[in-house]
Amino acid sequence: MGDADSLAALLGGPPTARAIGTADLWFTGIPVGADLGDTTEATDADLATLRADCSPAEFDESGLAELSRRWVSRTAAGAVAASAGYAPWAHTLAHVGVLSAPPHRGQGHAYRAAARAVDEALAEGLIAQWRCRVGNDASARLAQRLGFTWAGRQTAVRLRQAERRDPGSSLG
């Protein structure tokens, strides 16, 4: 049983509490300063291509659809190989997400796209935050390679909203 499952059980289990998941949290304030290759700002068409190349679960886990600033890394032939971006949180953090198309994994495209996102976020005065599902070893390795420091875990559960009673009603 995972951390989220245990917490949901302690909170009463279904239907009161449902496990969402547990994620590792990583942070950096140091620019990557890598060769970013041919990274460019991502278009809607770029993201549609990447979405079509990946499973729906992978695309959702990356968070790319919710990120306000995004870049892509392309193959030598110009194909979209990976995308990364960030969304500012509370004017302090830049929540970073990344996704690489399966045929192009392990070729440095995710690294270049993510390095661009991190460097752009830091240039805006934000602290970069990397959050990945516990067990996503490839994502954790990429975070380390980019210079992120592991800071802990986040466990999330969804709580059912309690019924509200009219304060003027009798409870008997």
> Tens digit of pLDDT for each residue in 18-75?
877 899 999 999 999 878 878 999 999 999 999 999 999 999 999 999 999 999 999 9
AA letter at 32: V
φ/ψ of residue 33, rounded to 5: 65, 30
User: Can you give the CATH number for the domain in which 114 is found?
Assistant: 3.40.630.30
Report which secondary-structure segment, H or E, holds 9: helix 3-10
Band of pLDDT at residue 163, cut at 50, 70 and 90 = low
> Tens digit of pLDDT for each residue in 126-145?
999 999 999 999 999 999 99
Q: So what's the pLDDT on residue 172?
A: 47
Q: How many domains does the chain have?
A: 1
pLDDT surpassing 80 at residue 83: yes
AA letter at 36: L
pTM > 0.75: yes or no = yes
Say how far apart CA 31 and CA 147 lie, in whole Å.
Answer: 8
**Can you give the residue range of the structural domain that contains 121?**
23-153
Say how far apart CA 86 and CA 130 lie, in whole Å.
Answer: 10
Residue 16 lies in a domain: no
Residue 63 lies in a domain: yes
Other beta carbons less than 10 A from residue 96's beta carbon: 28
Residue 169 lies in a domain: no
